[in-house]
Amino acid sequence: MNLFDFFKKKVFNIEPGLERIKAALEDVSNPHKNFKSILVAGTNGKGSTCAYLESLFRHHGYKTGLFTSPHLIQENERWQINRKNIPQDRLESYIKDLLPIIQKYNLTYFEACTLLAFKYFSDESIDIAVVEVGLGGRWDSTNVLDPCVSVITNVSFDHMHLLGDTLDKIAFEKTGITRKNKPAVVGRNQKEIIDWLKKRKIKEFYIQGLDFRSTVRESLLWDFEFKDFYLKDIKLSMIGTRQIENVSTSLASFLVFCEKNNIKVDKETIKRALKNTFWQGRMQILSEEPLIILDGGHNEEGLLKSFQELKELFKSKKVITVYSFMKDKETEKMFKIIKENSFKTVATKINVSRGMEKEDFYKLGEENFIENLLEAVELAKKYVDDNSLIFITGSLYLVGEVLNGWNTAGK
C-alpha cells in the first residue's frame, strides 16, 4: 500500500493555500515544530542541493531527515532518515494512522506527503530536516516550517501556469519561503531574486558569486571560499559542471547554519561528505558500452545545461536522444532544444496522466516514436557507433521509469 494509491488521478492536483496543512498538522500536535530545518526552493538543482546538504549534516554526526519529490522508483524514497528510505511497513502504518486526517481536511497528495514527513521526522527525533519545496514556495505545504536557513537555488521558466509568466513573478513565489529574521542563501546572482529579498526586507542573505564563490581548476577539482572559510581540492562523484553551483550553495548554507548555531566544522569531513554524495538521475552514467547517460532535464534551462555539459564532457561524440515530456511543459521550446543538439532522436511515452502521447509528438514534428520505453532505448542503440552516446532526458518521471526498467531487466 502506498499513499498515492488513495489519490489515483488526483496525484497531480494543486490547490494553493496553507490552511489545510496547518489544520492537519495541528491535529497531530504540530510535529514540524519539533526539529530544525532548512528549506530549499528554486527551479533547478533543488534535489542535488538537498542531497549535498543532507550529506554534510550526516557526516558531521547529525541525525538527518530528507524530504524530496518526486520519487523515481519507489514512493518511500520521498521520506528518508540518514539517507535510508522509510521502511515499507512503517510507511503503511503512517498511511493507516493519518488517512482519517488526510480525508478530514481534503489534503492534496503533496500535502499528505508533507504531513507524513513531518510526523515521521518528529517521531524519530531527528536533529535537522532538509526539505525540498514541491512547487513554487509561498503556498507550498512545506512553507509551514520556520527554517533556520532558506535556500533559493535559481529561477527560470517552469510551471508558468501556476507561478507566473515572468522571472519576477516566479521569484516572488520562490522567495516566499524566506523569513525576515533568518538568513537566506541564493545559488545564482539573479536580479529578480535579489529584488524580492529586498522587498521582503530579508535582513541577511548571501549570493553565489558575490558572498561565496567557487573556482574550478580541472575536471571537477575545485576550491571554495566564504567569509574567512577556504577549502581547496574538493572532488565530487557527480559529473557535470552545474554541480559546482549546487554544491557551493549547499556548502554556504551549511556554513551559515553552523555559524548561527556555534557548530565547529571539519574540512576533511566536508570533503568526504561532498565526495560521497549521490543523487539518482542527474547526469547518471547507466552504461559504458554503449555510453548511456540519464538526466532529468525537465525544463528549458535544465535541457540546455545538460547538452552543454555533454559537449564539455564528451566533446567529439554525437548525441542520440531518447526523450519524453509532460503535456504542461513548454514542449515546443524543449523539443527545439533537443532537435538542435541531437544527431538522432527517439520519443517515448511516460506512463502518467500528464505524459505526452504519440499524436502530441507528431504535432511537434517528431515522427520517431516508440511507446515502450525500453524498446525506444533499444532502437537508439541501433544508431550507436564508437563516436556517439545515448542521452535519456525530458522528465524526472521518465528518469524513474528508466531506472525501474533498468533494475528489473538486470542491466
The answer on pLDDT for 368 being more than 90 is yes
Q: Are residues 207 and 296 in the same domain?
A: no
**Residue at which a domain ends, from 275, 310, 341:** 275
Q: Are residues 147 and 50 in the same domain?
A: yes
Q: Are residues 323 and 215 in the same domain?
A: no
The three grid cell numbers given for residue 197, joined into one nine-digit string: 529579498
Position 387 scores a pLDDT of 95
Query: What confidence category does residue 407 fall into, taking pLDDT thresholds of 50, 70 and 90?
Result: low
CB proximity list for 195: less than 8 A, separation 6 or greater:
168, 171
Contact (Cβ atoms closer than 8 angstroms) between residue 327 and residue 350: no
Contact (Cβ atoms closer than 8 angstroms) between residue 399 and residue 69: no
| From 10-14, 74-78, 250-254, 372-376, the region with the lowest mean pLDDT | 10-14
The three grid cell numbers given for residue 235, joined into one nine-digit string: 572532488
Average pLDDT, the chain: 92
Distance between CA 17 and CA 250 in Å, rounded? 28
Q: Are residues 324 and 236 in the same domain?
A: no
Which residues constitute the domain of residue 172? Answer: 3-275
Position 160 scores a pLDDT of 66
Distance between CA 292 and CA 378 in Å, rounded? 11
**For 214-232, what is the mean pLDDT?**
88
Q: Are strands 149-152 and 184-186 parallel, antiparallel or unpaired?
A: parallel
Q: Are residues 258 and 293 in the same domain?
A: no
CA distances from 253 to 131, 291, 369 (A): 13, 35, 43
Q: Are residues 225 and 313 in the same domain?
A: no
Report the domain count for the chain: 2
Tell me if residue 65 falls in helix, strand or coil. strand
Distance between CA 391 and CA 399 in Å, rounded? 11
Tell me if residue 21 falls in helix, strand or coil. helix
| Domain CATH code at residue 394 | 3.90.190.20
Position 411 scores a pLDDT of 52
Q: Are residues 251 and 333 in the same domain?
A: no
**Residue at which a domain ends, from 225, 244, 275:** 275
Sheet of strand 229-235: strand arrangement: 212-218, 221-226, 229-235
DSSP 388-399: EEEEEES-HHHH
Q: Are residues 232 and 297 in the same domain?
A: no
Query: What confidence category does residue 409 fall into, taking pLDDT thresholds of 50, 70 and 90?
Result: low
**Residue at which a domain ends, from 251, 275, 299:** 275
The answer on pLDDT for 9 being more than 70 is no
Position 151 scores a pLDDT of 98
| Domain CATH code at residue 148 | 3.40.1190.10
DSSP state of 208: B
Q: Are residues 342 and 219 in the same domain?
A: no
- As a whole number of Å, the CA-based R_g of the chain is 21
Tell me if residue 379 falls in helix, strand or coil. helix
Distance between CA 362 and CA 274 in Å, rounded? 43
Position 259 scores a pLDDT of 97
The answer on pLDDT for 221 being more than 90 is no
Q: Are residues 118 and 49 in the same domain?
A: yes
Q: Are residues 36 and 110 in the same domain?
A: yes
Q: Are residues 368 and 243 in the same domain?
A: no
Return the amino acid letter for 206: Y
**For 93-121, what is the mean pLDDT?**
96
